[in-house]
Amino acid sequence: MSRATGDDLSYRRPVPLWWWLHKRTYFVFVMRELSSIFIAWLVLYLLLFVRAVGRGEAAYQDFLDDAASPWLVTLNVIAFAFIVLHTITWFSLTPQAMVVRVRGHRVPGIAIIAGQYAALAAVTAFVAWLVLS
């Protein structure tokens, strides 16, 4: 699309297909959106893992064998990188979306972010304890 016809001589600039490569912030945004696909994959993978555990020793061993295949390791390493990106970006955006007030005073953004990381650490520690013990 370029110029409008008729009396309107204003020029409409087309948005290029690769607009998201023009700025670092746009690129990070698109990667953050893309990370949702990998989150979905890891949820599915976790469900498959639970199903394998539920089906007994042999199924569990098969699952572990599959998990060690190079393509699955590669996929999961990439998925993990995207999950880290997803976590960091969304945690850092939370204070903009949520206004938390304690005794009439607004809680600073850094405290909200720290709270999320603390909660993540607590849940991780609990799951680690559950699995390892």
DSSP readout, 36-94? HHHHHHHHHHHHHHHHHHHT-HHHHHHHHHHHTSHHHHHHHHHHHHHHHHHHHHHHHHH
Nearer residue to another protein within complex by CB, 99 or 123:
99
Which stretches of the chain bind another protein, using CB under 8 A? Answer: 2-4, 9-13, 15, 19-20, 22-23, 25-26, 29, 33, 93, 96-99, 104
Distance of closest approach, residue 17 Cβ to another protein, in angstroms: 11
CB of residue 78 vs another protein: minimum separation in angstroms?
A: 23
Q: Which is nearer to another protein, 24 or 71 (CB)?
A: 24
How far apart, in Å, do the first and last CA atoms of the chain sit? 63
Question: Is 86 in contact with 39 (CB distance < 8 Å)?
Answer: yes
Instruction: Specify the residue, 15 or 130, whose C-beta has the smaller distance to another protein.
Output: 15
